[in-house]
Amino acid sequence: MITAQSYKWRDARFLHISRSSALAILALLFSIFLINPDTASAHAQLVATFPQDGSSIQSSPEVIVLSWGEDVQTSAKQFALVSQSGKKLTTKFSYSYDSTSREGTAKLYPASKLGKGSYFLSWKVISHDGHLVAGSIAFGVQTKVAISGGSPSTSHFDQAMQTLFWVLLILAFGAVLSGRKKLSQRLILGAIAASIFRVIESYFEVHQNFLEVGSSKVSLLAILFLGFILISDRYIRSLPLLETKLEALILIGILFASQALFEGHSLDLANFNYLKYISAGHLLFALLWTGSVAALSFKPTLEQYAITRKLSSASIFLMVFLGGILTYVLSRPLKYADKTAWFTFIFVKGIFIAIALGLGVFHHYAGKLIEDEGSFTLKKTMLIEVVSVVGIAAATSLLVSYTPPKVVQAQYSISNNLNGAASAANFAQYPLKFDNGLTGTLYVQKAQAGSPAMMMLGIDSKAILGAKSVDLYLSNTALNIVDLHETLVGGSNQYMSYVTLPAAGSWRVNAQLLIDAFTQAQSRISITL
């Protein structure tokens, strides 16, 4: 017989699990934003426009030009030229991609002459990593600009749906792992709904080009995979493989990791094609960890904790391993000026690895002690998981992104000695003027072709730029060499590296300076080796 007392006991137990689940979910959300490789993603960058944003020109432009630093997907429907009065103006549209400069250029030809006044041009493109990027420019004809242009940005609605999709997948993984069938079905239906909303939003934004958007590709795959899980669970359970939870967990894992392949990586600018696979590995192990913690919050038993501990411990050490690989990849462009800089770099990176591994060891043995003593409580184990996930996520993020200031200083300190006769005797100097008004000087060491020559770039600016590198693309038409890529690294407006040019002659140099995630300055010059 059910009494009032038993009702109170059940209500108290339910509230206890709810509070613990809420703690776990908050920890999962925090870890998502730390581990998410897309939070700092640099998408399609508008590198040049005519007229320039915010400028005033004296005559009506026959053509309006926008150039991005990559090949983008777009169409005439993604551009809107509007007068100050709010009238949409008719334009003819063309798009081309220059493989030499690696720039995609859209041209809009106004159907009628633009009269005196302010004009606003909005645009949308799909970047190479599959993200929809939108922005606008404003200019005036024979008058000051009365309309403000906007910085490029991605869809806030899509970002919200992406976060919801991540959370629902993690919780669905946990629900499947813990055997909560009805809960897992509801969470999977929620993830399918979020996927449908993302596809619809992409369609309304870019119309027939919506299948080129990375979120659409992931969403359609999600509808396929998650729909299969629901159908198989309901209608074809007679198959032996589908009587287990394994196929659902595998499909959710593949779907979660595949987001890195379709929606890019925050470090795509490094031009390493395999970064997306490292990112996919990070996402997979993050799912195993956070999903297993969610499973524990849904089923707080010692048996479930044993599964959670094994999955999370394996994920921790594999994530640290992948973080080490990523650190190596990103440190390759560094040219260490001396042994001290090299040892400093290794020492600092070693500290972050030690912290991450130390937290991993703590997580492993603290969990083992709980299992051996049988002292399992949900509050205690959740505290261990939260401390571990936050600490290790922060340590691996710093492992990848942080370079000691002494190492950065060693990259460009030699440029401080370039002055007077020494500079003239050993280095050729080429003045640079970037399209955003910045000026600087490129120093090229006088050396034989085929031998490493030092190149240094100094930016003339009182303000210290935040950029840590400058990309150089060198071309030689006589040798049919196009866009030989080199990276100068440094800081405080000074960048350097050793560059080996295969032959003497005239070289065309395109210098690209990434000022922030959406602003890139360019300068083109010719040098002679």
- pLDDT band of residue 476 (cuts 50, 70, 90) is confident
CATH number at residue 144: 2.60.40.1220
Q: What is the pLDDT of residue 168?
A: 92
User: Both 130 and 224 in a single domain?
Assistant: no
Q: From residue 149, how far is each of 119, 142, 229, 485 by CA, in Å?
A: 10, 18, 46, 32
Higher pLDDT, 114 or 416: 114
User: Both 11 and 107 in a single domain?
Assistant: no
Coil, helix or strand at residue 267: coil
User: Both 108 and 26 in a single domain?
Assistant: no
Task: Provide the percentage of residues in the chain whose pLDDT is more than 90.
Answer: 6
Q: What is the pLDDT of residue 172?
A: 93
> What is the per-residue pLDDT across 58-94, written as a single tens digit (0 to 9) for each?
888 888 888 887 788 888 888 888 887 778 889 999 8
- Give burial (CB, 10 Å; 0-12/13-18/19+) of 417: exposed
Q: Which residues lie below 8 Å from residue 118, measured CB to CB, with a gap of 6+? A: 83, 84, 138, 139, 140, 141, 143, 144, 145, 146, 147
For residue 158, what is the enclosing H or E element? helix 156-177
Instruction: Please give the tally of structural domains in the chain.
Output: 3
User: Both 51 and 182 in a single domain?
Assistant: no
User: Both 278 and 199 in a single domain?
Assistant: yes
User: Would you state the structure tokens that stand for residue 76, as one six-digit string?
Assistant: 């005439």
CA distance 290 to 382: 11
Q: Does the pLDDT of residue 193 top 90, yes or no?
A: yes
Q: What is the pLDDT of residue 406?
A: 64
User: Both 420 and 505 in a single domain?
Assistant: yes
Q: Is the dihedral of CA 228, 230, 231, 233 positive or negative?
A: positive
Q: Does the pLDDT of residue 154 top 50, yes or no?
A: yes
Specify the DSSP class assigned to residue 244. S
CA distance 119 to 142: 11
User: Both 175 and 109 in a single domain?
Assistant: no
For residue 427, what is the enclosing H or E element? strand 427-433
3-state secondary structure 495-518: EEEEEECCCCCEEEEEEEEEEECC
pTM of the model: 0.56
- pLDDT band of residue 144 (cuts 50, 70, 90) is confident
User: Both 321 and 183 in a single domain?
Assistant: yes
**Taking all residues of the chain, what is their mean pLDDT, rounded to a whole number?**
75
CATH number at residue 469: 2.60.40.1930
Domain of residue 444 covers 412-528
User: Both 320 and 278 in a single domain?
Assistant: yes
Q: Does the pLDDT of residue 1 top 60, yes or no?
A: no
User: Both 332 and 223 in a single domain?
Assistant: yes
Domain end point (choices 127, 151, 175):
151
- Torsion of Cα atoms, 198 then 201 then 205 then 208, to 10°: 70
Q: Does the pLDDT of residue 365 top 80, yes or no?
A: yes
User: Both 27 and 97 in a single domain?
Assistant: no
User: Both 202 and 123 in a single domain?
Assistant: no
Helix then strand then coil, % of the chain, to nearest 5: 50, 25, 25
Residue 360 lies in a domain: no
Q: What per-residue string of b and e applies to 134-154 under the rule 16 or more CB within 10 Å gives b? A: bbbbbbbbeeebebebeebeb
